[in-house]
Amino acid sequence: MAQHIPGPLYFERQGATGTPMLFIHSTPDDHRLWLFQTAHFSAWYRTIAVDLAGYGRSPAPQEGLTLGAHAAACWEAVDRISDGGIIIQGNSVGSQVAMHMAAERPGRVRSLIISGTGYPPPREPTARWKQRYEREGIAPRHEQIIDHFAPAARERPYLRYYAEMLLELNNASTAQSIVATNQALMNAPDEAFYLGLAVPTLIISGTEDRSRPGAFELQKRIKGSELESIEGAGHACNIEAPAEYDALCIRFLKARGLFPG
């Protein structure tokens, strides 16, 4: 078991054949952040969408949770399906977990596709949300989900529906789990960690994402990485603009001989 996570992660699979493709969500979302991508990419890959510890149906973490522990738990989920190479997609904190997975087992990671992220990880907003959950319990979750979208997108009916749907899996430990993950994100690694990453990496950034300046800084630090933009999208560009997001992923994977379609 991964340290500080008392049990295996919950995950959902689609696709009968192909390279495993792991999807790691942002906070305070769960695996359903990737509902468009798991439906689409399961045509060619075995998709695995996890609930990080304490989110959705996964067990709540114990005190001392780290990004490395999240990564180890994700590897345990992948190893239940395959011991071969994988492709990893992550958004926001999911991107940080994805990079930790690549650092831990670089020989297994064929490529990374990360979004809603940058260098350095945004500690000030993370600390602010952490404090709100500590004071208010689970109440801020709906607001934070909506806050991840570009201002022009926040009233779209399907995004409002998505945010409301996630709240249906709230439980007694969800708020504490979000706090623990935010604390882990505030303890993100130093620059040397990012400079040491050595797997093919695509960074996707919405032009309305508040972490966008950091995306350019991250690209400078991950050797050989590429950066693509989605006009008008915010922090959760994969669900705001799924067609544009998927097209960028497919182009990147085709260029590396990783797309079988």
What the block records as the tokens of 126 is: 């993370």
The pLDDT value given to residue 86? 98
Domain positions in the chain: 11-255
Q: How far apart are CA 134 and CA 26, in angstroms?
A: 19
Q: Does a cis peptide bond (omega within 30 degrees of 0) precede residue 59?
A: no
pTM for this predicted structure: 0.98
Exposed, middle or buried: residue 261 (CB in 10 Å: 0-12, 13-18, 19+)?
exposed
Per-residue pLDDT tens, the chain, 261 aa: give them: 799 999 999 999 999 999 999 999 999 999 999 999 999 999 999 999 999 999 999 999 999 999 999 999 999 999 999 999 999 999 999 999 999 999 999 999 999 999 999 999 888 999 999 999 999 999 999 999 999 999 999 999 999 999 999 999 999 999 999 999 999 999 989 999 999 999 999 999 999 999 999 999 999 999 999 999 999 999 999 999 999 999 999 999 999 999 997
Residues in the chain: 261
Instruction: Select 11-255's CATH number: 3.40.50.1820, 3.40.50.10860, 2.60.120.260, 3.30.420.40.
Output: 3.40.50.1820
Residue 20 — φ and ψ, nearest 5°?
Answer: -65, 140
The pLDDT value given to residue 122? 82
Q: What is the largest CA-CA distance in the chain?
A: 49
Exposed, middle or buried: residue 186 (CB in 10 Å: 0-12, 13-18, 19+)?
middle
- Helix residue ranges, H only, 85-211: 93-104, 123-136, 141-147, 157-166, 174-186, 191-195
Place of tokens 């007694």: 172
CB of 40 closer than 8 Å to CB of 15: no
Amino acid at 4: H
Residue 128 — φ and ψ, nearest 5°?
Answer: -65, -45
CA 194 to chain centre: 17
Q: What is the 3-state secondary structure (H, E, C) of 96-115?
A: HHHHHHHHHCHHHEEEEEEE
